[in-house]
Structures are given as structure tokens and as C-alpha cells.
Amino acid sequence: MIDRQVIITPLKIIKAGQVKHFQIKLPQTAKKIVGVELGGHFISELITTPTASEFTRFKANTLIGDLKLQSCERANIFYAGQLQVDNNLDFADFTKSAFIKIKPFTHQSKQFEDTISVDANSTIIQGIYKDAIGKQTGTDLSYLLKIYLWYKQ
């Protein structure tokens, strides 16, 4: 029997600085929340202009937004994370050429969820997500955020 399950919650962001309040309903069979993953993809294209810092060897990651999760049974937030674009996938990679375009699925290390340990006594998880990339760029970027909430039965 599989003891780990996942609940996938998609959120569509369409405005700069948008704040989304949402709830994730836990099944009655859930005993413990064991992990959280964040992912997503842009619906509208992210357009960036080259800056002097882009010609350096190591670049800062682009912050997309902030996520916080809280159980209704507890007053404290049990997860706070950021969705980011890794701007250093090709750092020190000598296979980079004009013919090979680096992609996350070709050069990123294996991903794992952020491990957490929270009792699933509550049936509802409250969440809040704040867009950051729209504020930084001053444009309404559309993207789909996916929250993967792992739990044990």
C-alpha cells in the first residue's frame, strides 16, 4: 500500500503584485503532512533586458513570489517558501554553445520536496501567495503556480 499521497493545487496569477488567499482541503485519511514543493510555468513570456550584472559569472536568482501555509488548528505558519527562477543553470557548464540551449530539465539537479512534519489534525490548510515578479518588472505577467502538498495516510 502507498503511504504517501500528494495534493496538487494550481493558482493562476495574472496581475502584478497579486495576492491570492486559498485553502487546501485535506482528506480524512491524512495523518501527517510531510512535504511541500513549488513549481509553475509562465503563460505570458518573461521578457528581460540585459544588465551589466548579467555579464558576470554568477547571477542572482529571479524571485517570482512568496508562499505561506498555515494549519487552521495552529496559530503558526508551518511553511514559508519562495518560487524562484534559477539563473545559474549553466554556471561552469562547458557544454553551453550556440546550438544547445540550457533548460531546467536538462541541467538541474534532482528536485525533492521541502521536508516538514505537521500533524494533519486539521481538514483545511490556509495559504497565501504574493506575486513579486510583477512588482519588480512593473508588468502584469501571467503564470500558473502549482503547490504540491505531500501527506502520509
Q: What is the rounded average pLDDT of the residues 107-112?
A: 54
Does residue 127 sit in helix, strand or coil? Answer: strand
User: Using the 8-state DSSP alphabet, how is residue 108 labeled?
Assistant: S
**∠ Cα 84 47 86 (to 5°):** 25
Q: What is the rounded average pLDDT of the residues 16-25?
A: 93
Contact, 149 vs 7, CB < 8 A? yes
Binned at pLDDT 50, 70 and 90, residue 84 comes out as confident
**∠ Cα 95 64 61 (to 5°):** 40
User: Using the 8-state DSSP alphabet, how is residue 80 labeled?
Assistant: E
Contact, 150 vs 30, CB < 8 A? no
Least confident of 30-44, 73-87, 100-114, 128-142: 100-114
Domain 4-46+63-86+111-152, CATH:
2.60.120.380
Domain definitions of the chain by residue range: 4-46+63-86+111-152
**What pLDDT is stored for residue 112 in this prediction?**
63
Phi and psi dihedrals of 84, rounded to 5? Answer: -135, 155
Binned at pLDDT 50, 70 and 90, residue 24 comes out as very high
Least confident of 97-101, 133-137, 143-147: 97-101
Which residue, among 76, 67, 66, has the nearest Cα to 119 in the 3D structure? 76
| Residue 60 exposure: Cα atoms within 13 Å on the Cβ side | 6
Q: What is the rounded average pLDDT of the residues 101-114?
A: 56
